A and B are shown apart, each in its own frame.
Chain A
C-alpha cells in the first residue's frame, strides 16, 4: 500500500465520523446551523430588549444626567399621572386605530377583487403593483405627501382647477391620517388577499345553493374567513403607527407629538434613557394587549 493511498484513507476516515454523526443524529446538523442566527438574536436583540425593560425601572440623576441603577416605578408613575403624556398616548393610539380601520376598509374590496374576481394574470399584476409601494422608500413616500399637501401643492392646484376652495390640510392631524393610511396600506392588502384567496369557491357556491344572495355570502362566509388576514395586516398598521415619530415630525405640524417623538427627544435631547425606555414599553404593552384580544377572538386559528 502506497503512502498516498494510506493518506487518502486517513483523510476519508477523518471526514466519515462527522458525516456518520450527522446520519445517526440528524438533529445535530440543524442545531449547529441554527446556533449562529439564534445566538445573534438572543445575544444581541433579546438582550437589548430585556435591557430596555430593565432600564425603564431605573432613573437618572437630574443634575448629572447619570443613570441611577435603583429599582423604582417613577417613570411609569410620571407617564400615568402627567396629563400631557396621557394625551400623547391617547392621540397615538387613537390615530393608530383610525389608520388601521381606514386601511382595512380600503383594502377589503381591493383584496376581494384580487382574490375572487380577477383573472390569474391580473392577480399577478395587482400583487406586484402592491409590492412596489410596500418596498419603495418610506421616507420618499412621506416626502411625496409633503409635496402634495403643501400650500402650493398639487392637491390645492387640483381643487382650484375644478373650482373648489383650497384644502390646506398640510401639517394637521388629517395629513398624518392620510400619510399613515397611505404608507401602511400595502401591509393590509397582502395578508387580507392571502386569507381571502384561501376561501374555497365551493363554500360560496354552497351559500348560493342555500339561497344566499352574493352580498350575504360575502358578509357571512368570506368576511369571517378573511378576518385572520385583516388581523395579521392590522398588527403591522397598528404597531408601525404606534411607534412612528418620522411622519409626525414631517407632516404633523405643531401639537402632533406622538409617543415616538417623546421617546426620540428623551434619548436625543434630554439624554434620559430610562424615561424613554419606560415610554417605549407603552406601545409594546398596547400591542401585547391587542394581540391577546385578537387571539381571544380566534383570529390566529386560521393562520
Chain B
C-alpha cells in the first residue's frame, strides 16, 4: 500500500482527530464539535468543512489557488477570535502531527512515516498561505475601523457640540475684534 492509499484509507480518522484538536481551542468545544447544522453552529461547521476540504486538496495535489476558499473558511473566523496570530493558524500545521499520530497506530503506517516529507512540505506551504490570509483579514479589519471613523459616525463620540463650536467661534471673533480695538 502506498502512502497516498493509506492516507485516503485513513481520511475519516485523520480528519476527525484534526478537527477535534482544532475545536479544542474553544472553551465550549463540545458544542462546536457536535452541532451539525451549519447555521446553528457556524464556527464548528465552517472549520470542519474547511479542514476536510484542505486535506482532500493536499491528497489530490491541487493547485495553490484551490486552497484559498477552504482556508478562508477557517482563517477568517480565527482572525477575529481571541487567538494570537500563531494560535489562529496553528491548526493547519497540526495536520502533520495528526497524520503521524494516526499512521503510527499500526505497523504499515509506521513503515511509511519516512515518506511523509513531501506531505509535510505541502502542509507547510498551506500553513504559510494561511498566514498571508490571516494578515489580509487583519488588514481588512483595520480598514473597516478606518472606514467607520471616516464615515462620520465618530461624530457620535469624538466631536464637539455644533452649537458650542458656533459659540466659541463667536467668542473668538469677539476677542479678535477686542484685540484689534486696543
Q: Say whether A associates with B.
A: no
B contacts, CB < 8 Å to A: none
